[in-house]
Amino acid sequence: MLTNTPVDVQAAYGSNWKDQFYTHNFTLVCRDPEGPIDGSGNLGTFPVNSTIQGPGSTSFANIPVGAECELTGDKFGQLNLTQTAPDGTELETHMRPSKVEWRLQRDEGMTYTDTDLADGETTSHKFMIKDDISEGGLGNKVELVNFYEFVKSPIKMSKKIVANAEDLQLLRKANPEFRFDYQCQGVGYSISNVGLPTSLNAGDTTAFPDGTLTFTSDEVEVPSGAWCTFTELDPSATPEALEWKQDPREVDKRVGEEGQPAVSYDFTNTYTRRTVPVSFVALQDGYLGGLSNGSYDYQVSCTAPGFDSPTLSFDVNRANSSATVADASAPSGGKVVNLPVGYDCTLDASGSSALRERVQLEATAGTRSPYMTFASWTSEGAAADNPDVKPADIPLDEVTSDLKKYTYDFSLDSALRSETGAPVLTIAGEAMHPRDSVDVTFTKQSVGAAGEGRTFEFSASCGETFTLKSGQSHTLRDIDVDQNCTIDEVIKQDSASPVVSVGETGPRLGNVKVDNFTDPITQTVTSGQWSFDILPVAEVSDMSTSGSNWALTGINTFPGVNITKKIDGAPISAVSGTVADTAVLPDDATTMRFNYTVENNGALPLTDLKLTELDLAGRTVVAADGTEHVVPESGTIPAEVCAPGELAVGASQTCSFDVKITESTDDTFYYRGLVKVTALGNNVLVSDYDSYGAMRLKEGLGFLLPDTGRQTLVWALLIGLILLAIGMALYMRNRNDEETDGEETDGED
């Protein structure tokens, strides 16, 4: 018996290869050809049974010559081979006889083919037993050839493309070729040509129709039980805007048994838009007051189908405040997002809390909100359309509503690619927060006689130096809000010292304070200061930047005192006759009657009034009650003589007393003294001076000048002027020169 197999079983199994085959039982049946046809002519028993395992032979002895015989064999069914490959794969080969050929090796020769093997048995044709070997014949040799074939089972493959409509257009245009390798193996065989397509094209709309984008092959048959590995190779090309992945790249499956449904080997190529890393940076400049919890929120959207728009949040406390959109190089500190190439995208920052209107900001383009410019950079540097100037340098009157849209459109070129993972594009938005500025008006009011007609000098920490008179105003222009400002008044040393206070104050000036700085020794006010916070508008809808909201009235309240000194007697001028500052006493007078009138001509009550006249030092003064007191060396008028006490605003008080004249009446007596009054008004020291003199002619000349106070006597004046013109004038002038050299001039501080 011979075996014809589709695989080399001996090569696959080596020395025990025959063990893989069935052991066939053969039966020889012979009969007398001349006996009854009904079978009663069968010959008697003789050795007619034999076995063969795999290819081999057997023989039957003592068969009667002339007998008509036939052979029958069994176990001609499916043969299942199994083996473990070196890589551990369990291999299977299923084969079965497709036909059996019986061949009689004799001169007349004959061949009989049996294909009806469903029951596993085969029977040869009938042949006659001959004894012709001695005559050179071939004898009774029968050859059986068992033709095996693979038991087959169907398989198929499918290829699916997953891509959105826009990506599919790119794919169709590029028309890449999809290529496949096939390998099926079992015991004793490995095949690569399985009858499935080895290449497909994405542009083939018949293979990949719109809608399903799936190619499914026809079914082909391969040996059942085969272990098949199908591999998809890389496509021949991929559009630069796309990236792809295979799911799977390799499919390993065992082919099913005969009669089972086709095993399918399925491949899917998913095409998506290639993405590149893009860095987004939040820049800021200007005034950030009122933004303690603010943030810049960048929503990034692209026209790619199904794109999930991310929102990037940047806290204002961490936003980049050093770089600007006008820089040549990209700023750092950004957040990176992967975006699809070949699409148009938009950065929208309009939802940012940091970009809302704030009262602290100057109104630009009709609103009190920041304005924003954008820029982009690639590895080659700044984009050609980047701003030339940073937002802070844009004149505020040139800010348009376009700068408050807070959106930036950009495109990602399909050629963009990041080989290292670093961002290929940096996009920055720079928000400018212009600090609002307002005009602050300072009005000066002076209360008290000492301030009348006076020019006051001021310096402002938030502005310039200026001067005002009472009732005048000065405006400090363009002063930043949210800051403290001080206005200092410099009080001249030779001027009266006021007490500064605050009058009317605008509602947008806060924390208004006033300070009076005094000399620790003299207790006089050396300077006054108004301090206030410049507040922004109360509502963002308020576009005002000047007016009563930011107005302040600074008041100088002057304590003032005035003293008038008179001595009883006919008044005359000591020099020119224009000012009566000397009293003519009777030629026998032994006292001078002093009259001090102290008046509060300021705006504050006065306390601690004191009178001093140095020229009275050592002289005896007589109080109203007749008591006598000697004026001390300091010239202080004794309180028993004159004690003004306190004076309300506008009040006055006069005290009169006598001063004894101890000089002889034989000589002309002349006296001139300067009186000084000091007082405290709200702890501010004020003072005043007045000078008045007295003259008593020696006896014999007194008649020449009237001592009655009647100055209308023409004859007395004429005689007095004629007779005493030279002597009197020289005397008075000399005395006056001597005295005024050591006296202070009347006046007010």
The per-residue pLDDT for range 349-366, each reduced to its tens digit, is: 999 999 999 999 999 999
Q: Which of 485, 378, 369 is nearest to 434 (CA)?
A: 369
pLDDT tens for 175-207 read 999 999 999 999 999 999 999 999 999 999 999
- From CA 73, how far away is CA 613, in angstroms rounded? 167
Q: What is the pLDDT of residue 746?
A: 41
Rounded to whole angstroms, the maximal C-alpha distance in the chain is 221
Half-sphere exposure of 71 (CA within 13 A, CB side): 29
**Average pLDDT for 268-288:** 96
CB 726 within 8 A of CB 734: no
> Sorting pLDDT into bands at 50, 70 and 90, what band is 233?
very high
- Characterize 705-732 residue by residue with b for buried, 16 or more Cβ atoms within 10 angstroms of its Cβ, and e for exposed: bbbeeeeeeeebeeebeeebeeebeeeb
| Residue-wise DSSP of 414-445 | TT---SSS--SEEEEEEEEEPBPEEEEEEEEE
Q: pTM of the predicted model, to two decimals?
A: 0.69
Domain residue extents for the chain: 9-150, 152-273, 275-433, 437-557, 561-704
**Average pLDDT for 266-284:** 96
SS3 category, 734: helix
CB 440 within 8 A of CB 494: no
First to last CA, the chain: 151
Give all strands (DSSP E) within 109-141, no chain letters: 110-114, 122-123, 127-128
Q: What is the pLDDT of residue 531?
A: 98
Give all strands (DSSP E) within 461-561, no chain letters: 465-469, 473-480, 483-490, 499-505, 509-518, 525-534, 551-557
- Characterize 405-436 residue by residue with b for buried, 16 or more Cβ atoms within 10 angstroms of its Cβ, and e for exposed: ebebebebebebeeeeeebbbbbbbbbbbbbb
> Sorting pLDDT into bands at 50, 70 and 90, what band is 698?
confident
pLDDT tens for 584-629 read 999 999 999 999 999 998 888 999 999 999 999 999 999 999 999 9
Weakest mean pLDDT among 102-111, 139-148, 164-173: 102-111
- From CA 391, how far away is CA 398, in angstroms rounded? 11
Q: Is the dihedral of CA 682, 685, 686, 691 positive or negative?
A: positive
Q: What is the pLDDT of residue 699?
A: 73
Cα three-residue angle 328-333-335, rounded to 5 degrees = 110
- Count the Cβ atoms, other than its own, within 10 Å of residue 684: 23
pLDDT tens for 375-401 read 999 999 999 999 999 999 999 999 999
- Characterize 227-251 residue by residue with b for buried, 16 or more Cβ atoms within 10 angstroms of its Cβ, and e for exposed: bbebbbeebeebbbbbbbebeeeeb
- From CA 298, how far away is CA 311, in angstroms rounded? 5
101 compared with 498, residue with greater pLDDT:
101
> Sorting pLDDT into bands at 50, 70 and 90, what band is 725?
very low
Strand 295-302 with 311-315, pairing: antiparallel
Q: What are the φ and ψ backbone dihedral angles of 244, each rounded to 5 degrees?
A: -140, 160
- Count the Cβ atoms, other than its own, within 10 Å of residue 466: 17
330 DSSP assignment: -
461 compared with 30, residue with greater pLDDT:
461
CB 374 within 8 A of CB 429: yes
Strand 142-150 with 2-4, pairing: parallel
Sheet with strand 483-490: strands edge to edge? 465-469, 455-460, 483-490, 525-534, 509-518
Report in angstroms the alpha-carbon separations of 538 from 228, 437, 509, 511, 605. Answer: 81, 14, 11, 16, 40
Sheet with strand 499-505: strands edge to edge? 473-480, 437-447, 551-557, 499-505
**Rounded (10°) CA dihedral 7, 11, 16, 18:** 30
Residue 41 in this model has a pLDDT that exceeds 80: no
Residue 742 in this model has a pLDDT that exceeds 50: no
Amino acid in the structure at residue 504: E
CB 548 within 8 A of CB 437: no
Same fold, 437-557 and 561-704: yes
| CATH number, domain 437-557 | 2.60.40
Name which CATH class applies to 561-704. Answer: mainly beta
Residues in the chain: 749
> Sorting pLDDT into bands at 50, 70 and 90, what band is 673?
very high
> Sorting pLDDT into bands at 50, 70 and 90, what band is 517?
confident
SS3 category, 548: helix
CB 92 within 8 A of CB 186: yes
Q: Which of 489, 496, 493, 488 is nearest to 451 (CA)?
A: 496
**Average pLDDT for 142-155:** 95
728 DSSP assignment: H
- From CA 367, how far away is CA 373, in angstroms rounded? 17
CB 312 within 8 A of CB 172: no
CB 156 within 8 A of CB 262: yes
Residue 700 in this model has a pLDDT that exceeds 70: no
> Sorting pLDDT into bands at 50, 70 and 90, what band is 523?
low
Weakest mean pLDDT among 224-238, 421-435, 490-504: 490-504
101 DSSP assignment: E
Cis check: omega of the bond before 248, within 30 degrees of 0: yes
List helix spans (H) across 307-447. none
| 76-85, 476-485, 488-497, range with greatest mean pLDDT | 476-485
- From CA 654, how far away is CA 538, in angstroms rounded? 56
The CATH-assigned architecture of domain 152-273 is Sandwich (2.60)
